[in-house]
Amino acid sequence: MNSTFAAITWDLDPIIFELGALQIRYYGLLWGVGIWFAYVVCKKLFLNEKEDPKLLDPLLFACIIGGILGSRLGHVIFYQSDLFREDFFSVFLPFSFKNGFEFTGFAGLASHGGAAGLILALIWYKYKKSSHSFLWILDKVAYPIAITAFFIRIANFMNSEIIGNPTNSDYGIIFSQIDSEPRHPSQLYEALAYLLIFFLLKRMYWKGKAYLQEGKLIGTLFVTMFTARFFIEFSKNSQGGIEEYEVLNILSTGQWLSIPFIAIGGLLLYRLKKQTALN
């Protein structure tokens, strides 16, 4: 019997082309596109608030270094800790040295680690480059982060990684590089969620003038992004991590790590609501 929701076979080569030992992949290209979009958006925010554009480049630098390094360390610490012992330099470099020299790219990146690394990098930016409050700085990167996250999840889809659980039906994506089972396209679920969050935050900034309430944009980002991540995790194939421990296996690693960010975002929004009520 034919199904309206027939499975789609996905068999894209993640490498666009090769230049000797250098591989140009969709993954790296989409990361670059995401960072470029974030820069363009952030520049508009600086112009709108009449901020010195010279302070934008160090902000971008801090976000790139903190985000990528935090994402990489977050993945290795929570999902692949053996790598510290087995192939230490591959933790920090896009190469594997375990079985000879091999270019691998940074295929293992965790969004929770990226968020933590970004916060630490922005603390550096606050004390070295900016006279604004920390919440002001976080608000400036809030909805640029959402569009970058959208492109990163599309990159994961192009790489056939972070796949979903089998749908046990005709519906789904068959990642032929993995197996022949129709699976949830969890990367696309997250990408769509982040794109909607981007448009929500954009509307809040320009129409609702949310930038006049410090903490509102970053608080909304944390609550919406990590709540979406929490529920989409139910459709994902386990990536290991802390849920391997029996006492913690009621939730996935991604869900456990989402809870603190949801709580922080909720507290920021509650604080704003309380301040508004007092005024």
Q: What is the pLDDT of residues 43-67, one digit of tens each?
A: 999 999 998 888 888 988 888 888 8
- Burial (Cβ within 10 Å: 0-12, 13-18, ≥19) of residue 142: buried
Residue 87 makes CB contacts below 8 A (sequence gap 6+) with 96, 97, 98
pLDDT tens for each residue of 112-171? 677 788 888 888 988 888 888 999 999 999 999 999 999 989 988 998 888 899 998 888
Question: Do 216 and 204 contact (CB within 8 A), yes or no?
Answer: yes
Q: How far is CA 135 from the centre of its chain?
A: 20
Question: Is the confidence at residue 23, as pLDDT, over 90?
Answer: no
Using the predicted structure, report yes or no on whether residue 232 has a pLDDT greater than 90.
yes
Residue 189 neighbours by CB under 8 Å, 6+ apart: 164, 232, 235
Q: Which residue intervals of the chain are DSSP H helices?
A: 26-48, 56-79, 83-86, 111-128, 134-158, 186-206, 216-232, 253-278
- Whole-structure pTM value: 0.84
Task: Kindly indicate the confidence band of residue 33, based on its pLDDT and cuts at 50, 70 and 90.
Answer: very high
d(CA 195, CA 148): 9
Q: Which residues pair with 136 in a beta bridge?
A: none
The answer for residues whose C-beta is within 8 angstroms of residue 139's C-beta and 6 or more apart is: 210, 211, 214, 215, 216, 217, 218
Residue type, 16: I
Q: What is the mean pLDDT of residues 38-45?
A: 93
* 162-199: pLDDT as tens digits: 889 999 888 899 998 888 899 999 999 999 999 999 99
Residue 5: pLDDT over 90: no
Q: What contacts 24+ positions apart, CB below 8 Å, involve 27-33?
A: 27/105, 27/107, 27/155, 27/156, 27/158, 27/159, 28/105, 28/155, 29/155, 30/151, 30/152, 30/154, 30/155, 30/158, 31/151, 31/152, 31/155, 33/151
Question: pLDDT tens digits for 69-109?
Answer: 877 776 677 666 676 666 666 666 666 666 666 666 656 66
State yes or no: pLDDT of 14 exceeds 90: no
| C-alpha dihedral sign at 119, 29, 199, 229 | negative
Q: Would you say residue 248 has pLDDT above 80?
A: no
With a cut of 50, say whether residue 1 has pLDDT above it. Answer: no
Q: How confident is the model at residue 2 (pLDDT cuts 50, 70, 90)?
A: very low
> Phi and psi of 207, rounded to 5°?
-85, -45
